[in-house]
Amino acid sequence: MVRFSRLLAACVLVSGLSACQANPGPPPVVEADEQSSSPTESTTESPTPEEVPEEDELPERSTVAIGVDPLRGGLNPHLIANNSELVSQIAELVLPSAFHGDEMDTDVLESAEEVDDPDNVAMRVRYTIAGPAQWSDGTPISGSDFHYLWSQITRTPGVNMASGYQAISAVRTSGSGRVVTVDFKQRVDDWHKLFAHLLPSHLLVDKEFASVLSEGIPASAGRYMVAGMDRSRGVITLNRNDRFWGEDPATIDVIQLRALRDTTQAVNMLRSHQIGFADFTPQQTSLESLSLLNNVNTGVVTRPRQLRVHMSTLEEALPEEAQRRALASLLDTEQIARLATGRSSNLEPGHNPFSDPVELFPLRERAGRKPLRIAVDPLNPTALAAANTIADVLQSKAIDVEIVSERLSTITTELLPAGKVDVVLAWDENGKDSLNMADFFTCATSSSPAGELSGFCPEQAEETAANILDGSLDSLAAQERVKQLNAEHVLFVPLLNEVRIHALGKGIVGPGQSIEDWDSGLVSAPQWRKDDD
């Protein structure tokens, strides 16, 4: 009986652990007669102390560790400033989405469909949120979370998929917050790509969207939750979300994401079994070094992410096409990619469509009046090295340059819209879908920022954006329009495409034994189990 009492107390004290609570119900509702008494009605009776379990009676938490790139910014996946493989994959594990690709998430939604729309609405979509769907603090997922994401994206510069959200005219909630009706002012063929990675609005509503999630994600509605971020040690801890209500909950209790500074550290940690899997940016000798390790399978993967040189077209920056074309003509993307990454292997430089020599006088004249200001985040070593290389090239041509070293979130949301910088180096989601393509034709208004960092507003932009969003222009046609727009107006130069190394060691049993089975990386974590052999 004593042993049963101890085990019961252990489960009370560690109720967040899977051993004690595998599939909890909704949070308890405190009735009026259960609430704490007022100070004047307090009693001097002391509660009976709970018996503290012995340490060896606490259930053991299954823990695995993997190696990842260091976290450079915050965890808000909707900001261009946070575009990275790590942020994207954490968001998939922690934040709820209406759809994953073309497939509705049935854990989050009961239904999502187009419904009949009134005459003044181009399209209406109705979402019905699943009854058990809730954040890890017990708050139900509701229409407020949909409304919050829409309202923040449409008024914040430097966000992803701005065009799709700006096509929305209203988000209304009914049915005790479970039914969300979204009205569009123009058709959006890829509407199912919207409302991915919803955020816990009840915890963020009074905070700046550009800085929310800079130090973590306060509540989860996925299979895992962010339990801690130790930037000094380079460790992000994900705990299993025991409030997750859906099918196929995660089996591993704790996943530690350990930052890998370089190839040597990755090899040492795989060799000593400190990590069971690694997903990181390669260096020159990464594959060669990893190939010498026994029982480690390696592979190379590419991602639709691209480091670009964005040129601002604002009046205070580089408003003349000749200025931008002169700058672009000086960029040897193969050289910049090689010097910025420090490698020539596993490298995919971007193609510069403006490499033909042109007259440099317009750029020199502008730099003579005011130095060319190149903005870059100092915490991104590849982008910083690329910016310094570009500055060296320009200065060798007698063009005065100033490096503006600032956090990318500040650059994209404050400095760039104010015309305080001319050029920005940033990683972009190089997607080919309609929402990414339509961003190039989404102009700034009094209430919404431009959809693309250059701030350029093309002729017939509204019509072109509408044709891309409603599917009149298919993906290939939309890509051709963007290519033509860039060729005529010189808005960006692609420097390099993202290439990554995957290395599978010992300690984790996952989606398969082949490294090709691990293409999705951390996203497959709910399928993992710990291998103690």
**Which stretches of 397-433 are DSSP H helices?**
408-410
Three-class SS of 14-47: CCCCCCCCCCCCCCCCCCHHHCCCCHHHCCCCCC
Judgement on whether residues 111 and 246 belong to the same structural domain of the protein? no
Element (H, E) at 337: helix 333-341
Judgement on whether residues 101 and 125 belong to the same structural domain of the protein? yes
Burial class (CB in 10 A: 0-12, 13-18, 19+), 290: buried
Judgement on whether residues 426 and 317 belong to the same structural domain of the protein? yes
Judgement on whether residues 256 and 314 belong to the same structural domain of the protein? no
In a domain, 123, yes or no: yes
Judgement on whether residues 465 and 398 belong to the same structural domain of the protein? yes
Domain CATH number, residue 102: 3.90.76.10
In a domain, 41, yes or no: no
Q: How far apart are CA 471 and CA 190, in angstroms?
A: 8
Judgement on whether residues 334 and 457 belong to the same structural domain of the protein? yes
Is the Cβ–Cβ distance between 405 and 376 less than 8 Å?
yes
- Nearest 5°: the CA angle 499, 73, 158 is 85
The amino acid present at 75, given as its one-letter code, is L
Q: How far apart are CA 306 and CA 383, in angstroms?
A: 11
187-214 burial, b at 16+ Cβ within 10 Å, e below that, comes to bbbbbbbbbbbbbbbbebeeeebbbbbb
Token pair in block for residue 444: 């700034």
Strands 423-429 and 372-376: parallel
In a domain, 67, yes or no: no
Predicted pLDDT of residue 431 = 78
Identify the residue whose tokens are 């025991």: 242
Boundary (domain end) residue, out of 142, 173, 203: 203
Q: What is the phi/psi pair of residue 39, to 5°?
A: -60, -30
Domain assignment of residue 329, given as a range: 305-499
Is the Cβ–Cβ distance between 409 and 164 less than 8 Å?
no
Q: What is residue 193's three-state secondary structure?
A: helix
Boundary (domain end) residue, out of 170, 203, 236: 203
Predicted pLDDT of residue 328 = 98
In a domain, 91, yes or no: no
Q: What is the phi/psi pair of residue 492, to 5°?
A: -155, 155
Distance of CA 225 to the CA centre of its chain: 15
First to last CA, the chain: 35
Q: How far apart are CA 243 and CA 131, in angstroms?
A: 14
pLDDT means per 10 residues in the chain (533 residues)?
40 38 41 32 40 57 96 96 97 98 96 93 98 98 98 96 97 97 97 98 95 96 98 97 95 98 97 97 97 96 97 98 98 98 97 96 97 97 98 98 96 94 95 93 94 96 97 96 97 98 96 92 96 77
Boundary (domain end) residue, out of 203, 237, 260: 203
Judgement on whether residues 469 and 358 belong to the same structural domain of the protein? yes
Number of domains in the chain: 3
Judgement on whether residues 513 and 453 belong to the same structural domain of the protein? no
Which residue(s) pair with 63 in the sheet?
A: 254
Is the Cβ–Cβ distance between 523 and 92 less than 8 Å?
yes
Is the Cβ–Cβ distance between 173 and 180 less than 8 Å?
yes
Judgement on whether residues 123 and 175 belong to the same structural domain of the protein? yes
Q: How far apart are CA 341 and CA 326, in angstroms?
A: 25
Domain CATH number, residue 291: 3.40.190.10
With CA atoms as reference, report the closest residue to 523 among 507, 502, 505: 502
In a domain, 57, yes or no: no
Which residue(s) pair with 79 in the sheet?
A: 159
Q: How far apart are CA 366 and CA 373, in angstroms?
A: 11
471 secondary structure, DSSP code = T
In a domain, 395, yes or no: yes
Q: How far apart are CA 522 and CA 92, in angstroms?
A: 9
Predicted pLDDT of residue 51 = 54
Helices (H) and strands (E) in the chain, counts: 15, 19
The amino acid present at 79, given as its one-letter code, is L
Is the Cβ–Cβ distance between 374 and 422 less than 8 Å?
yes
Judgement on whether residues 230 and 112 belong to the same structural domain of the protein? no
**Which stretches of 26-170 are DSSP H helices?**
85-94, 143-153, 162-166
In a domain, 385, yes or no: yes
Judgement on whether residues 492 and 512 belong to the same structural domain of the protein? no
Q: How far apart are CA 307 and CA 492, in angstroms?
A: 10
Q: How far apart are CA 92 and CA 88, in angstroms?
A: 6
Strands 103-104 and 99-100: antiparallel
Burial class (CB in 10 A: 0-12, 13-18, 19+), 301: middle
Judgement on whether residues 238 and 355 belong to the same structural domain of the protein? no
In a domain, 15, yes or no: no
How many Cβ atoms are within 10 Å of 533's Cβ, its own excluded?
A: 6
Q: How far apart are CA 360 and CA 181, in angstroms?
A: 53
Strand segments, DSSP code E, in 221-296 are 224-230, 235-240, 254-259, 277-280
Distance of CA 229 to the CA centre of its chain: 16
Q: What is residue 119's three-state secondary structure?
A: coil
pTM of the model: 0.88
| Orientation angle between helical segments 321-329 and 361-369, nearest 10 degrees | 110
Domain CATH number, residue 339: 3.10.105.10
